[in-house]
A and B are shown apart, each in its own frame.
Chain A
């Protein structure tokens, strides 16, 4: 397949290139390496509800009535959907009218799911091309070998008007996974381990290139590529994805800013301690922290496989009485698959609230936001102060297994003993944790203390004070 808008012939070069350098050379028709400035054609532009007003205003300021190519624009209503307030509902109405007036066919309204999940699973991400989105997790498109980058409203308006954008070719960081995960450990744990290594700004403006995981299911690759945003990356690309063409691989001898290796075989389940995504520890260090709310969903972990992992723990059981469990499938397809195979039935019978597909409470705009002092275990990707509601709530990030055990026991715990236990042993483990947690309603006070202790143990990164990131999606 020819790169959309690029040239079919890769310019000859003796420079050894990373995947990002290959893609940007190919689509720009120039021989470029990290540091060069390029203007690139876009194979698609993604826009979602939370910035639509600013994007429409930007197009108007540009004097452009129409987008450059209606067939290459994808629009989603997912961030505050279905509309939680009249103000948001008005904004959605404006968005729908705009989509209709423009004649944009690729439109997914409230309930269809998270933009990134649909972009990948419905095949809107052409490998080896550049896609920009109005959302910071547009890096997710690297799951299938596309160079996906998030941008602000003016950039998106320009992209919609011209079908092109300007970029500085990023340096790349090479992350290589070796070995195979042990039971109870997931690629969410693996990527949290990487964030622990690199930090929230360690990949600033770089492209994170993943090796050794091309054969993993698409969902795992979305988890990896999407969370490169949490390291400040411009893009994240999984090498050797089955969707990608043969040319989409780095040259031997390509130059990397940094190389990181992770041994999956010795990896334990991980946990990110509020309020930073890079304050990561083995989950056993956080065992015993009580939680009030568990959120299973988001573009990071809202797929069938994630819901199945939770169902594996919760089958035939009820969640702890003091805990609320919110399950939000990442897309209608994931929702329906989970319904068809009985997974949603198991989760509902366990006491879960099943939300309509979308971002749900991930960014605290709709669908079960957190109260002050509440403690949440979330399978999403951000735990900044105020991200899911009250700025006084705390958010721990973990895998679907960790989430399910937290919902069942009311506490954070290593899920592996539960997965290995026979029935009697399992019930004993749950009973012990529930007894420890006791009748206490809100989990908060004790958790706050534990979080502080843990921060000392994991080596706090900067001040644990990242304010205001909540409004970024």
Chain B
């Protein structure tokens, strides 16, 4: 079962991946190992494919660096659930294929380390303390995410999904 990693408000991309560990500084092979190295030491070693990050307001703010999201992809993070997202982080997640869902109550309900399940079909995040409601994704973003990101989507379909 997926494990929840809980963070607070205004988690910036520098906490997700400090600039000094950018791919062009440490190489494509290594950079993901530094995810949350300052904010949550041990994260990169302990995180398991499918794990869910849970945050408050403005998740992924700060620098627009795409490689912060690329690090989460490499580590197999299954989804990010937060009250709200910084725009570019949201965009980067959709593009690189990490489900990003808004939930007003998840942060209050989930405790760090909880086993959780994201049930997008029913619109809930299941937690030991009960279900948190998640806001359904726009069809446009959902289609890209289901394909595994914008590159995979475009390889199959040759064009963006319809927006309306």
| CB-defined contacts of B160 to chain A, threshold 8 Å | 39, 162, 164, 166
Q: In the bound complex, do residue A471 and residue B151 qualify as a contact, i.e. CB atoms below 8 Å apart?
A: no
**Residue of A152, A161, A469, A470 with highest tally of chain B CB at under 10 A:** A152
Instruction: Tell me if B86 counts as interface (CB < 8 A to partner A).
Output: yes
List the one stretch of B14-22, B47-55, B114-122 in contact with chain A: B14-22
Q: Let me know if B14 and A39 touch, CB within 8 A.
A: no
**At the interface, yes or no: B95 with Cβ under 8 Å from chain A?**
yes
Q: Is A61 an interface residue (CB 8 A)?
A: yes
In the complex, which residues of chain A have a beta carbon less than 8 angstroms from the beta carbon of B65?
Answer: 152, 471-472
* Residue B66 at the chain A interface, CB threshold 8 Å: yes
Once A468-B20, A469-B14, A469-B19 are accepted as A-B contacts, the answer to whether A152 and B64 lie under 8 Å apart by CB is: yes
In the complex, what's the smallest C-beta–C-beta distance from B90 to chain A, in angstroms? Answer: 9
CA distance A39 to B157 in the complex (A): 15
Interface SS of chain A: helix, strand, loop or mixed? mixed
Which residue from chain B places its CB closest to the CB of A57 in the assembled complex?
Answer: B28
B60 to chain A, nearest CB (A): 11
B91 within 8 A of A: yes
Answer whether A467 and B14 are a contact pair too, CB < 8 Å, given A150-B64, A472-B63: yes
A332 within 8 A of B: no
Give B59-93 interface residues, CB cut-off 8 Å to A.
61-66, 86-88, 91-92
Closest to A63 in B: B155
In the complex, the chain B residue whose C-beta lies closest to that of A157 is B151
Question: Could you say which of A151, A164, A166 has the most chain B C-beta atoms within 10 Å of its C-beta?
Answer: A166
Shortest CB-to-CB span from B156 to chain A, Å, is: 10
**Residues in B whose Cβ lies below 8 Å from that of A318:** none
Asked if residues B155 and A62 are in contact (CB atoms below 8 Å), the reply is: yes
Of residues 119 through 163 on chain A, the ones whose CB sits less than 8 Å from some CB of chain B are: 136, 150-155, 157-158, 161-162
B154 touches A166 (CB 8 A): no
Are B20 and A166 interface neighbours, CB within 8 A? no
Contact mask for chain A residues 437-473; partner B; CB cutoff 8 A; 1 contact, 0 none: 0000000000000000000000000000011111110
Number of A residues, CB within 8 Å of B: 37
Question: A62, A151, A472: which contacts B154 (Cβ < 8 A)?
Answer: A62
Of chain B, the residue at the smallest CB distance from A88 is: B24
From residue B67, how far is it (CB to closest CB) to chain A in Å? 8
Interface string of B128-155 (1 = CB under 8 A from A): 0000000000101000000001110011
Cβ of A166 and Cβ of B159 under 8 Å apart? no
Any chain A CB within 8 A of the CB of B96? yes
Interface residue? A30 (CB, 8 A): yes
Measured in the bound complex, the distance between the Cα atoms of B24 and A386 in whole Å is: 17
A150–B91 Cα distance when bound, in Å, is: 12
Q: Is A259 an interface residue (CB 8 A)?
A: no
Contacts of B95 in A (CB 8 A): 152, 154-155, 158
Q: How far is the CA of A472 from the CA of B24 in the complex (A)?
A: 12
- Give the shortest distance, in Å, between A26 (CB) and chain B (any CB): 16
* Contacting residue for B150 out of A36, A39, A154, CB 8 A: A154
CB < 8 Å neighbour of A471 from B63, B87, B92, B138: B63
Chain B positions within 8 Å of A467 at CB level: 14, 18-19
Q: Does B164 touch A at the CB level, under 8 Å?
A: yes
* Cβ-closest chain B residue relative to A168: B87
Smallest CB separation, B7 vs chain A (Å): 16
B150 & A136 in contact (Cβ 8 Å cutoff): no
A162 to B150, CA, bound (A): 12
Give the nearest-CB partner of A466 in chain B: B62
Q: Which residue of B lies closest to A158 (CB)?
A: B150
Report whether B140 and A166 are in contact in the complex, using a CB–CB cutoff of 8 Å.
yes
Given contacts A30-B164, A39-B163, A234-B87, contact A468 B63 (CB under 8 A): yes
Q: Is the CB of A152 within 8 A of B66?
A: yes
Alpha-carbon distance between A468 and B87 when the two chains are bound, in angstroms = 19
Contacts of A234 in B (CB 8 A): 87
The answer, yes or no, to whether A415 is at the interface (CB within 8 Å) is: no
Chain A positions within 8 Å of B19 at CB level: 386, 467-471
Complex Cα–Cα for A471 and B62 (A): 12
List chain A positions with a Cβ less than 8 A from chain B: 30, 36-39, 53-54, 58, 61-63, 136, 150-155, 157-158, 161-162, 164, 166, 168, 201, 204-205, 234, 386, 466-472
Q: A53-B24, A154-B151, A166-B160 are in contact. List 13 more A-B contacts (CB 8 A).
A: A36-B163, A37-B138, A37-B140, A58-B151, A62-B155, A154-B92, A158-B95, A158-B154, A386-B19, A467-B14, A468-B13, A468-B18, A471-B63
B residues adjacent to A (C-beta < 8 A): 13-14, 18-20, 22, 24, 58, 61-66, 86-88, 91-92, 95-96, 138, 140, 149-151, 154-155, 159-160, 163-164
Query: Could you list 27 examples of A-B contacts with CB < 8 Å?
Result: A30-B164, A37-B140, A37-B163, A38-B163, A53-B24, A63-B155, A150-B64, A152-B65, A152-B92, A152-B95, A154-B95, A154-B149, A155-B91, A155-B95, A162-B154, A201-B61, A204-B86, A234-B87, A466-B14, A467-B18, A468-B14, A468-B18, A468-B63, A469-B62, A470-B19, A471-B63, A472-B65
